[in-house]
Amino acid sequence: MSWRAKALRAVLRLTVRQHLIRARDPEPERARFDRWAARFCPVPRGVRQSKVSLGCSALRLDPAQAGDGTLLYFHGGAYLTGSPRTHAGLVGELSKRAGVTALLPRYRLGPEHPAPAAFNDALATWRALRFKGIAPQKIVLGGDSAGGGLALALLSQLCRDGTPPAGAFAFSPWTDLTLSGASHRENAALDHYLPASRLAEARDMVLQGRDPADPRISPLFAIFPNPPPVLIHVAATEILRDDALRMAEVLPGADIRCARDLPHVWPFFHAILPEARITLDETAAFIRQCLAQASLTGR
């Protein structure tokens, strides 16, 4: 564990986590997240940004050296905050390392647009890509936190439709809105970023009375017939640890990697964390491998 990881854990616990404990209204949090991300996680040099329409508006990121592949990435933020802008730096860095074009949809957020609005937008984005002639085997799905859960929920739908992508990955995904994982209790005092006491409230703002076990919002309860390769990263001290680890129950072939005492979605902090850069390199290699294998098999 690097000294930078130890320092970051302390800073997040004293700042972001304390703020999230007090935050009530998602709207000002969205603007605050945008400003914070622009300051601490800018888009890397050599990555061009442009706006596109894919069922919903989306941000396109093109690294200088991009091969024949597309990363469809869904941002995190508990389905209440976050945007393509907040995650452009993280995804731009990943697309640059993987050598692929990346797309970040601006899916609808709660509480204004309760579930399954985000899933419907994710599916619409996939269909728009297919309409443009991009084959499933040329696409890799990805996401973090709520966006990681969204990527896995979309993967389930595509597997059931018989049109799976080349692969999928998730950083610290939120996959179980029933909040049944033991880590919600066991890691309540250990998570350096997310306050366990607020998760049920956030969940209720998103669901507004809908079934928390709906696989469109909780892919832990989904089915994945004949899935492509799946990579999941999570840290042992996260409250969402079991949301990731229990995905092995429905995706027994998934590569689920449990890091030590790192913050929620630590790849976001790649500018300062060597552990984050290692995770991004591993994920970039996974993306390239998925695309290469899918190209060979024609899947």
φ/ψ region of 125 (left if φ > 0, alpha if ψ in -120 to 50, else beta) reads alpha
**CB-based burial, 31-63: b 16+ in 10 Å, e otherwise:** eebeeebeeebebbeebeeeeeebbeebbbbbb
- Tokens standing for 44? 């890397």
Catalytic residue among 87, 233, 264, 270: 264
Catalytic residue among 233, 238, 270, 275: 238
Separation in Å, CA 232 to CA 55, 67, 151: 27, 24, 11
Look up residue 15 and give its two tokens: 């700042």
The answer to whether 145 is a known catalytic residue is yes
Instruction: Enter the tokens of residue 130.
Output: 């297919």
Side chain identity at residue 245, one-letter code: L
Secondary structure (3-state) at 276: helix
| 3-class state of residue 95 by DSSP | helix
- Residue 152 amino acid letter: L
Could you say which of 145, 156, 172, 218 is catalytic?
Answer: 145
Closest CA to 74 of 183, 155, 180, 179: 155
Q: How many Å apart are CA 204 and CA 177, to the nearest integer?
A: 9
What residues are annotated to the active site?
Answer: 145, 238, 264
